[in-house]
């Protein structure tokens, strides 16, 4: 079950408005949202450093929520670029469409990424930025989404995703890292980002395996 968020149609989008919207959905759907607060600007910077600042790239975000990462992606893109965001929760989708009209919001499951992008006329993606709650997904779901990301990415493209520091020692986090390494030729980690609740870091993945 999900709800449509009520944002006053004429109200200018604010960070406080995004916080309220996030809290409203997270309170009801923690099993889908998987975080207690929107990502911080510091984490957003770490995740979006792979987004090209020149040319006209196509950038796809998975799990935009209320859009803090979307804002960071947008700040890097030159005119002529495309910025899409795939979000499963209808409440978040409604909020994003009102508060961030410049974003191409796609309502759907990241596990269907290829067909969702095809429906938008996208056949080449230069960067995929994810804040999906991987720990809430089964190994099969994780594998399916990573497969869709690999197939969607240009061979020279990059994929980034977040992990939280407190989860790093857990067996399922290690299993996810193995899955990433099986999917990408290069998997690097950023420095920890302490200024986020909770602190996290980004995996930066390049050269999707078995491309084409
Ligand atoms: C941890 S929140 C991150 C929100 C926001 N990007 C941020 O950094 O604050 C995860 C987001 O992923 C969305 N999500 C969860 N499963 C998804 C799926 N299978 N496909 C697309 N979005 C999904 C949730 O609804 C939620 O908005």
Question: In the chain, what are the domains?
Answer: 15-208 (3.40.50.150)
The rounded mean pLDDT for the chain is 90
Q: What is the pLDDT of residues 61-96, one digit of tens each?
A: 999 999 999 999 999 999 999 999 999 999 999 999
Q: What is the CA radius of gyration of the chain?
A: 16
The residue ranking higher by pLDDT, 188 or 35, is 188
Structure tokens at 65: 């929520």
**Residue 32, pLDDT above cutoff 80:** no
* Contact 67 CB / ligand 1 (< 6 Å): no
> Helix %, strand %, coil % for the chain, to 5?
40, 25, 35
Q: Give mean pLDDT, residues 120-149.
A: 96
Report the C-alpha gap between 167 and 187 in whole angstroms.
18
* Contact 208 CB / ligand 1 (< 6 Å): no
pLDDT at 1: 33
**Residue 199, pLDDT above cutoff 80:** yes
How far is ligand 1, taken at its centre, from the CA of residue 86, in Å? 9
Assign 83 to helix, strand or coil: strand
Q: Are strands 200-208 and 153-164 parallel, antiparallel or unpaired?
A: antiparallel
In this structure, the residue with its CA closest to atom 17 of ligand 1 is: 88
Q: Give mean pLDDT, residues 143-168.
A: 96
Residue 189 pairs with which residues in a beta bridge?
203
How far is ligand 1, taken at its centre, from the CA of residue 90, in Å? 11
Ligand 1 atom closest to the Cα of residue 89 is 25
| pLDDT class of 14 with cuts at 50, 70, 90 | low
pLDDT at 10: 39
How far is ligand 1, taken at its centre, from the CA of residue 33, in Å? 5
**Residue 21, pLDDT above cutoff 70:** yes
Ligand 1 probe mutation, 65, 138, 196, most atoms within 8 A of CB: 65
The residues, ordered by sequence, that sit 6+ positions from 76 with a Cβ below 8 Å of its Cβ are: 48, 51, 52, 53
Q: What is the pLDDT of residues 90-118, one digit of tens each?
A: 999 999 999 999 999 999 999 999 999 99
Burial of 11 from C-beta contacts in 10 A (0-12 / 13-18 / 19+): exposed
**Residue 212, pLDDT above cutoff 90:** no
Residue 54 DSSP label = S
How far is ligand 1, taken at its centre, from the CA of residue 35, in Å? 9
**Residue 164, pLDDT above cutoff 80:** yes
How far is ligand 1, taken at its centre, from the CA of residue 65, in Å? 5
**Residue 11, pLDDT above cutoff 80:** no
pLDDT at 19: 78
pLDDT at 80: 96
| pLDDT class of 37 with cuts at 50, 70, 90 | confident
pLDDT at 18: 82
* Contact 68 CB / ligand 1 (< 6 Å): yes
The residues, ordered by sequence, that sit 6+ positions from 49 with a Cβ below 8 Å of its Cβ are: 160, 190, 204
């Amino acid at each position: 079950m999900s709800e449509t968020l009520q944002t006053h149609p004429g109200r200018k989008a604010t960070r406080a408005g995004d916080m309220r919207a996030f809290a409203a959905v997270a309170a009801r759907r923690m099993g889908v949202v998987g975080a207690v607060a929107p990502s911080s600007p510091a984490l957003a910077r770490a995740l979006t450093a792979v987004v090209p600042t020149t040319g006209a790239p196509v950038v796809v975000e998975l799990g935009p929520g209320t859009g803090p990462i979307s804002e960071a992606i947008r700040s890097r893109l030159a005119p002529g670029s495309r910025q899409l965001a795939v979000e499963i929760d209808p409440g978040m989708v409604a909020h994003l469409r009102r508060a961030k009209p410049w974003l191409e919001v796609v309502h759907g499951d990241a596990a269907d990424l290829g067909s969702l992008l095809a429906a938008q006329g996208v056949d080449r993606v230069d960067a995929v930025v994810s804040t999906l709650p991987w720990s809430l997904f089964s190994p099969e779901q994780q594998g399916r989404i990573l497969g869709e990301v690999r197939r969607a990415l240009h061979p020279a493209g990059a994929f980034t995703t977040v992990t939280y520091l407190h989860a790093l020692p857990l067996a399922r986090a290690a299993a996810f890292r193995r899955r990433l390494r099986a999917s990408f030729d290069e998997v690097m980690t950023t420095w920890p980002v302490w200024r986020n609740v909770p602190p996290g870091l980004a995996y930066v993945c390049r050269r999707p395996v078995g491309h084409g």
